[in-house]
Structure 1
Amino acid sequence: MPALPSWLTTPLWDQFTALIPARPVVDPTHPLGCHRRRISDRTVFDKLIQVLRFGCSHEAIADTTCSASTIRNRRDEWIKAGLFAALKRIALDAYDRIVGLILDQIAVDGCITKAPGGGQCAGPSPVDRRKQGMKRSLMVEGHGIPLGRVLAGANRHDSPLLAPTLDKLDDLGPLPADITVHLDSGYDSGKTRTELAGRHLHGQIAHKGEKAPIQASQRWRVERTNAWHNAFNRLQRCYERREVVIDAFFDLADAILTVRSLIRPAWTLYRWDSRPARRP
């Protein structure tokens, strides 16, 4: 069973392979003039998607085509080159050109997941008997497309993570003059309102003590995106210990979600010669 359908992995790979710097298949500097052939980048890319989607270890997904060490080494090589962040940025730019980002409506929310292995982004979880957990403070636009996130231990409160999360807006270029930030009651404080006012942002914040249906707003989109992220088992139960690796997996997941959200509305907005006969 494939981790993702081919109509989604094909455009992802076509863009990702254009970012990979050229390298010889056989090392020309080998002293004996020979060397084992380099494992195909496509094979490693498919293995990383399987690790992200199924949440299995590198050893469990390794086989005769690619070892676990090769998967980890190639992953670290691509992280160092910034390829996963570049893939996410390209996918976001493509979505903005074809469909359009709704940047005047932004939602931010936190989500706690398990982190059994501990690591740089882990802390005692207040909802899981103080077991190791990770919190992500996620920011999305009006359609629910992920714009950025901040990783922290599960014991961190949502409110202090708001400022570094909103800093991710600086990477998006020109912004609308009037931006509304939708927040839940965990951000209902004078400090949050002061932070938003200092950034010239309007806040629609749920009040503590009032039931959610009475004050429901557009926060459901960020909650839906958090659910999309948790469908990737590597993010829902994270065994990675280094923050750069976790960020890389999140960037890959964001690119997948963005391209998927791009293809579906583009089906009804545009026509192209090679469009499949059935809607994905």
Structure 2
Amino acid sequence: DLPAEMGVCGMTCWRRLRDWQAVGVWQRLHAELLARLRGVDRINWERAVIDSSSVRAVHVGDHTGPSPVDRRKKGSKHHVLTDAQGVPLASSVTSANRHDSTQLRKLVQSVPPVRGKRGRPRRRPKALLGDRAYDAEPHRRWLRLLHIRPFIARRRTPHGSGLGKERWVVERTIAWLHQMRRLRTRFERRADIHQAFLTLGCALICWHHLQPS
């Protein structure tokens, strides 16, 4: 779909997207932008926030499944972990019917070592906030072993945990991601290609955080 006046073959661009995803170029780009953000003190490690959102998949492909929020139409789910300001630290793609709790450990482990300052790279927040979908005692024990305080709402308790006033930043970040056409609806059959677009979307948000207000 690239305009012909750009002088670039669309298939060539697709192959570069695929190949660079395979060798980790987009992940390294995201990590470099995180390092620059840390260098100017724009990453808040006091807490991280986790959430997910489903999108419709136009084609059947890897990591698609019946969406419980879209009349069981084929869809995928974007899982995102941000810092306390909404800076995306890690992301993943699963089928829409995959439970959120299955991605908590993966996302925490996927945060790259963030450089940008003298000393050891940083990759662990002091606390993690999540809604009831992540309620599981094994997760809490695992987070404590990593010296991360878990603040996860519990199931079968009245609403009003108070976490919403701090969790909204991840919902805003997901809304920013879904303003991008390739992420608002999934067109790719291959999950690795869609993950490449999701990682690029996170990198773009980091870039915008770097710009002057």
Which shifted more, 166-175 or 110-119?
166-175
The structure in which a higher percent of residues are helix is: 1
Q: Which residue of 2 aligns with 1:151?
A: 93
Within 2, Cα distance between the matches of 1:204 and 1:167? 18
Q: How far is the alpha carbon of 1:215 from its aligned partner?
A: 4.6
- Counterpart amino acid of 2:24? G
Q: Which residue of 1 aligns with 2:128?
A: 181
Within 2, Cα distance between the matches of 1:190 and 1:171? 27
> Is it true that 1:244 corresponds to 2:185 in the alignment?
no
- Counterpart amino acid of 1:193? R
User: Structure 1 residues 86, 212: CA separation in 2 closer, same or farther (over 3 Å shift)?
Assistant: same
User: Structure 1 residues 207, 264: CA separation in 2 closer, same or farther (over 3 Å shift)?
Assistant: farther
Query: How many corresponding residue pairs?
Result: 205
- Counterpart amino acid of 1:142? A
User: Structure 1 residues 241, 166: CA separation in 2 closer, same or farther (over 3 Å shift)?
Assistant: same
Report Cα offsets for 1:30-49 as digits up to 9, x if no partner.
xxxxxxxxxxxxxxxxxxxx
User: Structure 1 residues 205, 71: CA separation in 2 closer, same or farther (over 3 Å shift)?
Assistant: same
Is 1:182–1:217's contact at 8 Å kept on the other side of the alignment?
no
- Counting only pairs closer than 5 Å after superposition, residues 108-257 of structure 1 correspond to structure 2 as 108-169=50-111, 171-172=113-114, 173-175=121-123, 179-208=126-155, 209-212=157-160, 214-257=162-205
Unaligned runs of 5+ in 2: 115-120
The structure in which a higher percent of residues are strand is: 2
Is 2:129–2:151's contact at 8 Å kept on the other side of the alignment?
yes
- Among 2, 5, 8, the alignment partner of 1:66 is 8
SS in 1 for 2:48: strand
Within 2, Cα distance between the matches of 1:188 and 1:75? 36
Structure with the larger RCO, 1 or 2 (CA within 8 Å, 6+ apart): 2
Within 2, Cα distance between the matches of 1:232 and 1:149? 15
SS in 1 for 2:92: strand
Q: How far is the alpha carbon of 1:140 from its aligned partner?
A: 0.4
- Counting only pairs closer than 5 Å after superposition, residues 79-90 of structure 1 correspond to structure 2 as 79-90=21-32
Within 1, Cα distance between the matches of 2:15 and 2:154? 48
Q: How far is the alpha carbon of 1:81 from its aligned partner?
A: 4.5
- Among 2, 13, 20, the alignment partner of 1:78 is 20
Within 2, Cα distance between the matches of 1:70 and 1:146? 29
Q: How far is the alpha carbon of 1:212 from its aligned partner?
A: 4.2
